[in-house]
Amino acid sequence: MTRQRRAWGLVTPLLVFIAAVFIVPIGSMLWRGIHDTEWAGLLPRTSAALAARDGAEAPPSAALIGDLLEADEAGRWPALSLRLNREGGGLQSLFRVTLEGLRRGDRKLGEIDSRWLDAASWERLATMVRPFTAVHLLNALDLRLDDDGGIVWQEDGRRLYLALFLRTVLVALGVTACCLLLGYPLAYLMASAGPRLRGLLLFVVMLPFWTSLLVRTTAWIVLLQRKGVINDLLVSLGIVGEQGRLALVYNMTGTMVAMVHVLLPFFVLPLYSVMRGIPAAYVRAGASLGARPLHVFRRVYWPLTLPGVSAGSALVFILALGYYVTPALVGGRTGQLISNQIAFHMQRSLNWGLAAAIGGLLLLLVIVIFAALSRVARLREVAS
């Protein structure tokens, strides 16, 4: 019993630390994606009255008038207007007209704007001000609620996030594939080299780790820009003309190149440690039994390195899914990923609910992909 208590005593600080810096912040972020308290602050009486309202009761016009006048007096109209604009569906114009009427002294909502006589407007408002909302999650999937409360696609010009999710997954897959193509031979060279060359190569692989991410990304801007080193080299070699300089940065090419450079060590190091553990005698045995080099590689070496490949791939893929700094710096307009939208909604548009919903969906995507990968890996184990 005492031993058990002592063990708990040792583990508890770590558990508290993980809960405080990991579970609670992420949980509160996810919570924000479905729980919206902004309306309770903007229209307190109306949201309370609409929440308590039975369908048959008269709409709480007095509460709305009181809230609007109070918001106008307290200078909260810009915040309210911003939020209404985000909701779309003409609500902002309805509230603006209503407020102008109230300022003139009118106190009958139906006379100020006939839309208040329509029960659908009140239904819409009631759905909107509920503390628990699916609006952000729907928004993050390019969906919205129509006037009848049904789920429909966003209008063509407002669809953005599904394409960005797809682009992010494709970029992450592309970066992982590039890391596999570039990292596998490098890891092999490291594992099979003599101690001196191995030390040098390890230094080269570790070098990016010791350099700030910003420095590395800036270095790629220097290399890839129109007047940069690579374009200068291509022009001086006569491969491209002065006018035909390539656009290598501030687009998807720049994002891919810089991301592969940043993430390659994360692929090489786990693969290298697995390759180091493979006895050279296995390959020699395969060759001495008459197999050609490619056959030995395919039947002996590659299967033995698979744990390293899957660990490195998973690491690179998951990191690439949430990558933010590099696309923000070298991505330009076409090289942005979903994480840049999360940052945009956190920092610029201040739509934290939508940022939380996109973040939550990204987390869900990672979990689903991880579960699928581990299932495939287990199936392979069973098959072998």
Report 293-322 residues binding another protein (CB under 8 A). 293, 296
Alpha-carbon separation of residue 60 from 104, 116, 178 (angstroms):
21, 11, 60
In angstroms, rounded to a whole number, what is the distance separating the alpha carbons of residues 98 and 102?
6
Strands 143-145 and 151-153: antiparallel
In angstroms, rounded to a whole number, what is the distance separating the alpha carbons of residues 380 and 384?
6
CB 30 within 8 A of CB 356: yes
Query: Does 204 help bind another protein (rule: CB under 8 A)?
Result: yes
Nearest by Cα to 140 from 156, 162, 158: 162
In angstroms, rounded to a whole number, what is the distance separating the alpha carbons of residues 310 and 316?
10
Report 220-249 residues binding another protein (CB under 8 A). 220-223, 225, 227-229, 232
Query: Does 331 help bind another protein (rule: CB under 8 A)?
Result: no
> How many Cβ atoms from other residues are within 10 Å of residue 187's Cβ?
26
Q: Which is nearer to another protein, 188 or 344 (CB)?
A: 188
Q: Using the rule CB under 8 A, which residue among 30, 138, 189, 234 binds another protein?
A: 189
User: Token pair 């899957």 is at which residue?
Assistant: 310
Alpha-carbon separation of residue 195 from 186, 187, 198, 266 (angstroms):
15, 14, 5, 22
Q: Enter the tokens of residue 242.
A: 């002065």
Q: Which is nearer to another protein, 89 or 228 (CB)?
A: 228
Q: Which is nearer to another protein, 143 or 219 (CB)?
A: 219
Q: Which is nearer to another protein, 1 or 215 (CB)?
A: 215
Piece in contact with another protein (CB under 8 A), picked from 139-147, 161-169, 209-217, 241-249: 209-217
Classified as helix, coil or strand, 136 is: helix
DSSP result, 250-265: SSHHHHHHHHHHHHHH
Q: Which is nearer to another protein, 65 or 300 (CB)?
A: 300
Q: Which is nearer to another protein, 169 or 287 (CB)?
A: 287
Give the shortest CB-315-to-another protein separation in angstroms. Answer: 17
Site size for another protein (CB under 8 A)? 33
Query: Does 182 help bind another protein (rule: CB under 8 A)?
Result: yes
Annotate each residue in 247-286 with x if it binds another protein (CB under 8 A) or - if it does not, as one string: --------------x--xx-----------------x---
Q: Which is nearer to another protein, 15 or 200 (CB)?
A: 200
Piece in contact with another protein (CB under 8 A), picked from 57-65, 80-88, 201-209, 302-310: 201-209
Query: Does 65 help bind another protein (rule: CB under 8 A)?
Result: no
In angstroms, rounded to a whole number, what is the distance separating the alpha carbons of residues 46 and 40?
8
Q: Is 176 exposed, middle or buried (0-12, 13-18, 19+ CB in 10 A)?
A: buried
Annotate each residue in 137-176 with x if it binds another protein (CB under 8 A) or - if it does not, as one string: ----------------------------------------
Nearest by Cα to 219 from 179, 251, 185, 262: 262
Give the shortest CB-215-to-another protein separation in angstroms. Answer: 6
Nearest by Cα to 167 from 255, 249, 248: 255
Piece in contact with another protein (CB under 8 A), picked from 88-96, 182-190, 318-326, 360-368: 182-190
Piece in contact with another protein (CB under 8 A), picked from 23-31, 77-85, 179-187, 370-378: 179-187
Please report, in angstroms and rounded to a whole number, the separation of the first and last CA atoms in the chain: 44
Q: Enter the tokens of residue 351.
A: 């739509």
Give the shortest CB-333-to-another protein separation in angstroms. Answer: 21
Interface residues toward another protein, by CB under 8 A: 182-183, 185-186, 188-190, 201, 204-205, 207-208, 211, 215-216, 218-223, 225, 227-229, 232, 261, 264-265, 283, 287, 293, 296
